Structures are given as C-alpha cells and as structure tokens.
Chains A and B, each alone.
Chain A
C-alpha cells in the first residue's frame, strides 16, 4: 500500500489543494485528533487573527478568559493591554512572514499575564508555511502554541513509572518538577526532607540518563508530559453542527460551537 505523506515543505504550500475525497478528509482529520491529545494548546488563525480551530487544551485556556480571549468576531487577542499589548502586532507580522521569506520562519515567544495572578501563559507564535496571497485574509497563516504552566496534570505518573521504571515517589517528584515546582515546593508537597528529594533526583537522573534538570524536564515533557494519556471523549459533542464564518465569543459558546469539533464532525466523524 502506498504511503501518503503530509509534507511541511514550503514547496508544497497548503493553499494549493486538490479536492479531497471524503475518505482522504477523514484520514487527514487524524492530525486534528492528535492535537486533541496534547497538553499544549494549539490554535490556527488566519491572517485576520480569526481562530480557525483550536485544540481542547487551547479551548480550555480561552474559555477561562484569564489573559486571552476570542472576540465576537472570533479574533484571538489578549484580554487587556495589561496582559500583553504586543500580541496582535506579533501575529500580524507572523502572518506576513512567509511572503517576506518563505524559507525563514521565526518564532516569537511572549508571556501573557493573567488577571487571576497565576503564572503567565507562554505563547509561541509561528508562521504557517503557506504561499497564500496577502489579500487572502481567510487562509490559515499563523500557528499559536499556548503553554499553561498551571494546567491540571493528566495522570502522567503511571506513564512515567512504566516508561522509566520510576518508583511512585520518584514519579510524583518528576510530576512536580514538570509543573515547575522548586525543590522547596517539592519537599512541602511530598512532605519529605530536602536530602530525600536530592536522593530521588539523583535516581531520576540515573534512570533517564540525563545530567541536568533542564534536560530532565525536557525529556519528561517529551515522553509523556505533552500528551494526555487519558482522553476525555465525553467532552466531545455529538450533535451535528454547522461551521460559521463568525466564531461566537468563546465565553458564550457551547461545545457544539467549537470550531475543531465542527471540523471533525463535518468530516464524517
């Protein structure tokens, strides 16, 4: 059987599309289902900053309206200038970048302050590889990754135990480190002494084969942290809906209005 491949090469821009069959569209939707399994929020916007789709994590973040929001017109923006006034400008620049130099995609990282006082969101804005004309405002043009350092954990301990052979205590410590907790915080949360934490840390290094905490956190996130090992299918709506050119305000939306669900449903799922 021939292997299909989704190329991310700029030479195969996403705007020159063949007309997909229903079956092809169904299989292509696997990419979106994969995004639904991520603990990192992912959204795609068009040149006008309108959200074309967002994965479950991104929707949770937007629904909280804690630093980021989607307007009545479906436009992604900071909740106030206090959160971060530069996001609209950065997204606009990112949407124009492929035209300026298709071979160069520059990431822009920014923090979004949150009225709740929680740690800021980290946003990474990247241009999509596309050759859409500048006048095409509806074309997908910007990928936005949203990282919430205080996102509720999704049962990563079992995965860590299985993958690296961590003990329960080591897995709990690894989980806390992935959430950005300090060693002091870990001592408090686990109710153990600093010397015990250091011993567990050394075990984590030995079992993962890394030598620095930064490497450890990167490895842990890449292994299980980025992916929800438990997928909440119940949160997905079942009713058939119609996509709208104007995305309702997120805070007023029901799940049925969420664009990614609509997209998947309309592909036959």
Chain B
C-alpha cells in the first residue's frame, strides 16, 4: 500500500488524465453554475465556443447563445440547477437539446445533467455540460473515426446486394 501522499498525487494525476479523453473523442465538457457562469471547460468546448456559432462566452465568463431569442441554455441549466422544482428533468439521465447555429450549420448537441450526480442533496447547483458538434464529426479524423472503422459497417453494407453507396 502506498503512503497517503502518493495516493493523493496519483488521484490528482488521474483527475487531469481523465480530461484528455473527452478532447480526444471531440467531446466538449464544461461545468457551469446556476447563472451559466463557466467554471471549467476542456479544449474542445473552448474551441466550439471560439467559433461563436451557437454558443459563446461573454466578457463576464457567462455562457450565452448566439441566437439571442433562444432560451434553451438558460432553461436547461435552470432545470439542472433546481431539478426538484423543474418539470421534465429526468430522474436518471440527462437533458439533450439542439442548439441552433446562426451560420445555418447542423445544430450543436448539448447534453446537460446536475453535477455532482452522486449526492442526493447538493450543496451547490452546478451543471455538467457535454457539447457535440455533429457537423465537425463528418470529416473528423480523431479517435472516433479509427474506432468506428473496425466496426466493419461499411464492409457489411458493401457485401450486401441491397446496398449501393450514395443516396438512393
């Protein structure tokens, strides 16, 4: 058994290592408070915000939608921050919504859930956000593409006499 100090260091390292995986999968991860102030985010999330196409960060560090008329983000964060008062908040799971992009590109997929999830009574009201850019996924050659390549879907389809590449 290690000393307590060693274990603590390992835990810290593991915490940081855990943040590299979502980036490699192209998944944006962030935590915000009940007022949509962003507390932490990974690089992918920041990259998506940097495009200012769907979501952006204002000078006060607050997450906002580029579509000013939309209240989706505020609504979702509100439901996660006060799940006991909100209708429609799944008891187990997360909320998934589309965030419209002003460029007209495919909408961002936003998944949100209360954070932390493993306590029954939360002292704070934070929201864990996962952000997926599906338009980016089509041409991406990150970790996902090589993983999927070995699933052999294309091989199966190609071998089928009912399959033809392209739009039918």
Report which A residues bind B (CB closer than 8 A).
1-8, 14-15, 17, 20, 25-35, 37-38, 40, 42, 44, 52-53, 107, 109, 111, 119-120, 122, 124, 126, 128-129, 138-140, 143, 145, 147, 149, 159, 162-163, 177, 180-185, 187, 194, 197-199, 201-202, 205-206, 208-215, 217-219, 221-224, 226-234, 236, 238, 243-246, 263-267, 269
Q: Residue B40 at the A interface, CB < 8 A? A: yes
- Is A25 within 8 A of B154, CB to CB? no
Judged by DSSP, the binding face of B is mixed
A6 to B44, CA, bound (A): 10
Contact assessment for A129 and B20 in the assembled complex, using a CB-CB cutoff below 8 Å: yes
Chain B residues bordering chain A, tally (CB within 8 A): 85
Please indicate the chain B residues that have their CB under 8 angstroms from the CB of A139 in the complex: 13
Inter-subunit contact A245/B39 (CB<8 Å): no
Query: When A4-B39, A126-B24, A222-B132 are in contact, do A205 and B150 touch as well, CB less than 8 Å?
Result: no
B residues 112-164 touching A (CB-CB < 8 Å): 113, 115-119, 126, 128, 130, 132-134, 136-138, 140, 143-154, 156-157, 159-160, 162-163
B88 at the interface (CB under 8 A from A): no
Q: Is B34 an interface residue (CB 8 A)?
A: no
Residues of A within 8 A of B154 (CB): 213-214
| A205→B166 CA distance, assembly (Å) | 9
Contact B23 A8 (CB under 8 A): yes
Given A5-B43, A17-B12, A138-B10, check contact A34 B22 (CB 8 Å). Answer: yes
CB within 8 A of B15: which of A28, A129, A228, A238? A28
Cβ of B1 under 8 Å from chain A: yes
Which one, A30, A180, A185, contacts B151 given CB within 8 A?
A: A180
